[in-house]
Amino acid sequence: MTETLEKSAARTTAETWLTAFADALSARDVERAVSLFAAECYWRDLIAFTWNMKTVEGHDGVTDLLDQTLENTDPSAWDLSAEPTEADGVTDAWLYFETAVGRGSGHVRIVDGKAWTLLTTLDELKGHEEPMRENRPFGTEHGANPERVTWKERREEELTELGRSRDPEVVIIGGGQGGIALGARLRQLGVPTVVVERNERAGDSWRKRYKSLALHDPVWYDHLPYLKFPDNWPVFAPKDKIGDWLEFYTRIMEVNYWGSTTAESATFDESSGRWTVQVDRNGEKITLKPRQLVLALGVSGKPNIPTFPGQENFSGEVQHSSQHPGPDAYKGKKVVVVGSNNSAFDICGALWETGADVTMVQRSSTHIIKSDTLMEYGLGDLYSERAVASGVDTRTADMVFASLPYRIMAGFQKPVYDKAREVDADFYSRLENAGFDLDFGDDDSGLFMKYLRRGSGYYIDVGAADLVADGKVKLAKGQVQEFTEKGVKLADGTELDADLVVFATGYGSMNGLAADIVGQEVADKVGKVWGLGSDTTKDPGPWEGEQRNMWKPTQQQNLWFHGGNLHQSRFYSLYLALQLKARQEGIPTPVYALQESHHTS
């Protein structure tokens, strides 16, 4: 009885707020709509109102967003899409609404009758719905037809023509999980697209990495659009298994995937509104003329490969972690791994298992979280068998995650890592006693905020960290100053002998890779890619409140960036695909608050 009453009260609160909000928007009464928000409030919009990825804060932010977007958006048909809930004085409600051009969904958190957080997302375009479920294609043509064209014949004709006798609407440069996910989305929306990838096969970007590489995110977090991993898929999949899955996925989803193809240059003609993209496809020079160019080059850019005095005299090998082939050739060898992030630990662990004498050089403090602890306390309520059993599907989990504005996300994350320090206190104590410098982010908010702000500086696992804690992988601390003939010398004078030095020193901003393709002038025009502008370590301000230049319009017309982990590739590919489809169809897309380009690489 109490549960029923609580649900009734939550529904009343949500319905009262939503009715008032819908009435104010319908009347174009911005002041009344803004009065329904708390003094501290956040509205995150994913292209529904803004044709942008944008979060506004406070009454002034909400006022400006509505002043600039309300008339064009023309929102209507607001309704609750699920039974609201209430906990700790916060009412959570899921929403449905329509705009002038599409249908959307959202989420609101209501405190004392006012909106604290609001999420609005555009889910589909009217008249351009994906052919799914009840709208799926029939697949065959019954009856006799002497002009019949089979699926195979149509597919072969498309593969022959697209990019040769007819131009694609979109070229995606980069065929990892990001490019593939977006290619699948665009395929479903009927947008002619070519994915350009320098590796021969989809998945090779995973296959070619060091042999111990595996996903550090659990399977429930990593599904691609439309096609989930099987129920017997490993929780943490090995790299070659992921490589096979990505190759399989491109074929099943009919992605036009050009392997063994290098994008050499791209220039934009403002008069025609088209790019000229020069590619080398397995030795054949081809010119593509798409309207839209997407750089799907991963979460990072070029490898950071430092050089030091004396390197030319070093008698051993030097590699970046991205070049490391694996441990097999280094049994009995002395190896120095510079860095203490995921790649560094993976490489150190695999080398030690092979019988190498391994030393890790920690240059700055590192955040470490056990994978099982992360699953239990950080992801379990949204991405786990427990979540699936409770009715939380992937889309719902993604939307819950997206409903937390980045400004306040750290506050939601901090208790997770406080708990981790409590339950894994012995593990952390052993690491610190070994001399390892730990951190939990600038504000103790842990892994996700570190990833969103800087994309690096953490390790998810326990095995290789145990090797450091136990002294099996030796630990040195400080900055490399120079090479010697036999190894490296640190700034404090410590000399480390090595047959191999591996720099697990991360990657630069994505716009460094972009400059190689679109030119430095265009890359500078766009500015820094990734990060929130949080003014924390390696994430300089000013505050942007969204991932910089990701999945949204940039200062360079018709140039887009897409990437991130599997979760982000899945979730944000929808919104990027809808933006590209709208432009293909000539649907007006007035962009609110286009990001400035003051961030440099």
Boundary (domain end) residue, out of 79, 110, 125: 125
**Position 565 pLDDT exceeds 80:** yes
**Which residue's entry shows tokens 């404090």?**
492
Using DSSP's 3-state secondary structure scheme, residue 85 falls into strand
164 is in which domain, residue-wise? 151-302+515-584
- Kindly state whether residue 55 falls inside one of the protein's structural domains: yes
**Residue 99 and residue 212 in one domain:** no
How high is the pLDDT of residue 601?
44
- Do residue 401 and residue 286 come from a single domain? no
Rounded-to-integer distance, Cα 65 and Cα 589, Å: 15
Residue 506 pLDDT level (bands cut at 50, 70, 90): confident
Distance CA 88, CA 106 (A): 21
Residue recorded with tokens 């390197």 = 311
Q: Which of 20-29, 376-385, 578-587 has the lowest mean pLDDT?
A: 376-385
Number of H helices and E strands in the chain, helices first, is: 18, 25
Does a structural domain hold residue 377?
A: yes
Confidence of residue 7 (pLDDT cuts 50, 70, 90): low
Question: Could you tell me the two tokens for 555?
Answer: 């200062």
For residue 565, tell me if it sits in a domain: yes
Please name every residue paired with 162 in a beta bridge, in sequence order, or none if there are none.
166
Q: Is residue 141 part of a domain?
A: no
Is the residue at 320 inside a domain? yes
Answer yes or no: do 566 and 428 share one domain. no
> Is the predicted pLDDT of residue 599 greater than 70, yes or no?
no
Q: Are residues 497 and 536 in the same domain?
A: no
Last residue of a domain, one of 85, 110, 125: 125
Between CA 379 and CA 397 the distance in angstroms is 10
- The reported pLDDT for the residue numbered 559 is 98
- Say whether pLDDT at 374 is over 70: yes
Specify whether the CB–CB gap between 508 and 528 falls below 8 A. no
Q: Are residues 169 and 260 in the same domain?
A: yes
117 and 57 in one domain?
yes
| 256 and 316 assigned to the same domain | no
Instruction: Check whether residue 522 and residue 544 sit in a common domain.
Output: yes
Cα–Cα–Cα angle for 73, 271, 275, rounded to 5 degrees: 85
Co-location of 338 and 487 in the same domain = yes
Q: What is the DSSP string of 3-64?
A: HHHHHHHHHHHHHHHHHHHHHHHHTT-HHHHHTTEEEEEEEEEESSSSSSEEEEEHHHHHHH
Ramachandran category for residue 273: left, alpha or beta (phi over 0 → left; psi -120 to 50 → alpha): left
∠ Cα 46 396 132 (to 5°): 80
User: Considering only CA atoms, which of 463, 469, 459 is closest in space to residue 426?
Assistant: 469
Q: What is the residue-wise DSSP string for 288-339?
A: E--SEEEE---SS-SB-----TTGGG--SEEEEGGG---SGGGTT-EEEEE-
Helices (H), 462-601: 463-469, 510-518, 520-526, 566-584
Q: What is the CATH number of the domain that holds 440?
A: 3.50.50.60
Given the structure tokens 């994915």, which residue do they identify?
Answer: 195
Amino acid occupying residue 212:
S
C-alpha to C-alpha distances, 18 to 78, 133, 162, 545, nearest whole angstrom: 7, 29, 47, 25
Please indicate, yes or no, whether residues 58 and 108 belong to a single structural domain of this protein: yes
- Residue 142: inside a domain, yes or no? no
CB 36 within 8 A of CB 133: no
What pLDDT sits at residue 145? Answer: 81
Collect all residues with Cβ–Cβ distance below 8 Å to 390 and sequence separation of at least 6.
none
pLDDT bracket for residue 1 (50, 70, 90): very low
- Rounded Cα distance between 175 and 458, Å, is 25
Query: What's the pLDDT tens digit per position in 157-212?
Result: 999 999 999 999 999 999 999 999 999 999 999 999 999 999 999 999 889 887 77
pLDDT at residue 301, as a whole number: 63
Q: Which of 491, 496, 528, 535 is nearest to 512 (CA)?
A: 528
Tokens of 508: 């630069």
Can you give the three-state secondary structure of 242-280, one letter per residue?
Answer: HHHHHHHHHHHCCCCEECCEEEEEEEEECCCCEEEEEEE
Q: Are 334 and 273 contained in the same domain?
A: no
**How much is the mean pLDDT over the chain?**
93
Range 242-252 average pLDDT: 97
pTM greater than 0.85 (yes/no): yes
Please give the tally of structural domains in the chain: 3
pLDDT at 149: 85
Residue with tokens 């030097």: 318
Same domain, 537 and 566: yes
Choose the final residue of a domain: 469, 503, 537.
503
287 and 280 in contact (C-beta within 8 Å)?
Answer: no
**What is the pLDDT at residue 597?**
83
Nearest Cα residue to 591 out of 562, 543, 534, 551? 551
> Domain of 29: which CATH number?
3.10.450.50
CB 531 within 8 A of CB 547: yes
pLDDT of residue 5: 54
Question: What percentage of the chain reaches a pLDDT higher than 70?
Answer: 97
In a domain, 133, yes or no: no
More confident residue, 260 or 461: 260
Q: Any idea of the CA torsion for 22, 28, 34, 37, to the nearest 10 degrees?
A: 10
Average pLDDT, stretch 482-504? 97
Is 351 a residue whose pLDDT tops 70? yes
CA distance 305 to 128: 46
**Structural domain includes residue 600:** no
